[in-house]
Amino acid sequence: MKVLYCAGEQAAVVLDILRRCGTSDEIVLLDDDANRHGTALDGIEIVGGGDKLGELDPSHTAVLVTFGARQGVRVALARRVTEHGFDFFNAVDPEATVSATATIGVGVTINALTYVGPNVTVDDHVLVDSNVTVSHDCRLSEGATIAPDATLAGGVRVQQGAFVGAGATIRDHVTVGANATVGAGAVVAENVSSEETVVGVPATPLE
């Protein structure tokens, strides 16, 4: 059995990945919004919230937290899942390209048309959206989010919980600090401090 925890837009993307990968596992949807319980996402009923984890058998169930961009939430929910003793699975789109020398953690989603290059490390609970380039020797730390069409040149470090916006470009060997935000379309040529938000071309701190 595979459980998708958070049944929003990102869950719909993961459902599509699983179906195109030909999964035969039963899929269960959970969401903490009680107003959504009993409704369906792409034909699959949302059966309850995270409290339902206690009713499932961890020895026959793997979980993926399918929460999008809000910083810290995906990792916090993953901690809750871990407390119940579950393992995590990854969702890698069949149209993504992942180097054989890349290292991928658990609870990771990599969407269609994304390239993950040689010697890249993708830590646990990272979301790499569609049409992203993650060049050689990059490291994406736990809970980082890379939005569609972003380009990370070689050796970039995206630290824990950081968010790189759609269409952003990050120069080689730049570090984006923990829980920092890179705005959509930004061109980042210098390190970004933890908790900092940068926007524009070239990227500068948001006042």
pLDDT in tens, 30-39: 999 999 999 9
Which amino acid is residue 206, in one-letter code? L
How is the chain split among helix, strand and coil, in percent rounded to 5? 15, 30, 55
Q: Tell me which residue of 140, 28, 5 sits closest to 78, measured CA to CA.
A: 5
* The pLDDT value given to residue 37: 97
Residues of the chain where predicted confidence (pLDDT) is lower than 50: none
Instruction: Give SS3 for 11.
Output: helix
Per-domain boundaries in the chain: 2-89, 90-201
Rounded to an integer, what distance in angstroms lies between the CA atom of residue 176 and that of residue 182? 8
pLDDT 10s digits, 37-83? 999 999 999 999 999 999 999 999 999 999 987 778 999 999 999 99
Active-site hit among 60, 84, 125, 136? 136
Of the candidate CATH numbers 3.20.20.140, 3.40.50.300, 3.30.590.20, 3.40.50.20, the domain formed by 2-89 belongs to 3.40.50.20
Rounded to an integer, what distance in angstroms lies between the CA atom of residue 146 and that of residue 168? 9
User: Residues 127, 105: contact at Cβ < 8 Å?
Assistant: no
* The pLDDT value given to residue 68: 84
Residues near 100 by beta carbon (within 8 Å), at least 6 away in sequence: none
136 is catalytic: yes
Copy the structure tokens of residue 18. 């699983």
* The pLDDT value given to residue 5: 98
Q: What single string gives the DSSP state of each residue in 20-82?
A: HTT--S-EEEE-S-GGGTT-EETTEEEEE-GGGGGGS-GGG-EEEE---SSTTHHHHHHHHHH
Residues near 89 by beta carbon (within 8 Å), at least 6 away in sequence: 2, 62, 63, 64, 106, 107
CATH code for the structural domain at 90-201 = 2.160.10.10
